[in-house]
Chains A and B, each alone.
Chain A
Amino acid sequence: MSTRSTTHATFVLERTYDAGPARVFAAWASLEAKRRWFGPGDEHELDFRVGGSEHLVVNTAAGPRYTFDSRYQDIVPDERIVYSYEMYKDEDRISVSVTTVEMAPVEGGTLLTMTEQGVFLDDLDDPAAREHGTRELLDALGKAIADEAREVA
Chain B
Amino acid sequence: MLNQLQVAPDPEGPPVEVVFHALADPTRRAMVDRLIAGPASVSELARPLPMSLPAVVQHLQVLERSGLVRSEKVGRVRTCRVDPAALGGAERWIAERRALWEQRLDRLGAYLAETADESEAQGRS
Residue numbers of A with Cβ under 8 A of B are 7, 9, 11-15, 17-19, 23-24, 27, 33, 36-39, 94-95, 97, 112, 114, 116, 118, 120, 123-125, 127, 129-131, 133-135, 137-142, 144-145, 148, 151
Contact = CB atoms under 8 A, between A and B. Distances in A.
B57 interface: no
Contacts of A139: 36
A38 B105 CA distance: 8
B39 to A, nearest CB: 14
Q: How would you classify the secondary structure of chain A's contact residues: helix, strand, loop or mixed?
A: mixed
A138 B92 CA distance: 10
A141 B89 contact: no
27 contacts: A9-B90, A12-B1, A13-B105, A14-B1, A15-B108, A17-B112, A18-B113, A27-B108, A38-B104, A39-B103, A112-B105, A114-B101, A116-B101, A118-B97, A123-B90, A124-B89, A125-B89, A133-B89, A133-B92, A135-B84, A137-B87, A137-B96, A137-B99, A139-B36, A141-B99, A148-B107, A151-B107
Interface string B76-108: 000000101111111011111111111111111
Contacts of A142: 33, 36
Given A17-B112, A18-B112, A18-B116, A130 B104 contact: no
Contacts, number: 122
Given A39-B107, A124-B89, A148-B103, A11 B97 contact: yes
A9 B99 CA distance: 14
Nearest to B23: A141
Given A37-B104, A116-B97, A145-B30, A19 B89 contact: no
A92 to B, nearest CB: 12
B120 to A, nearest CB: 12
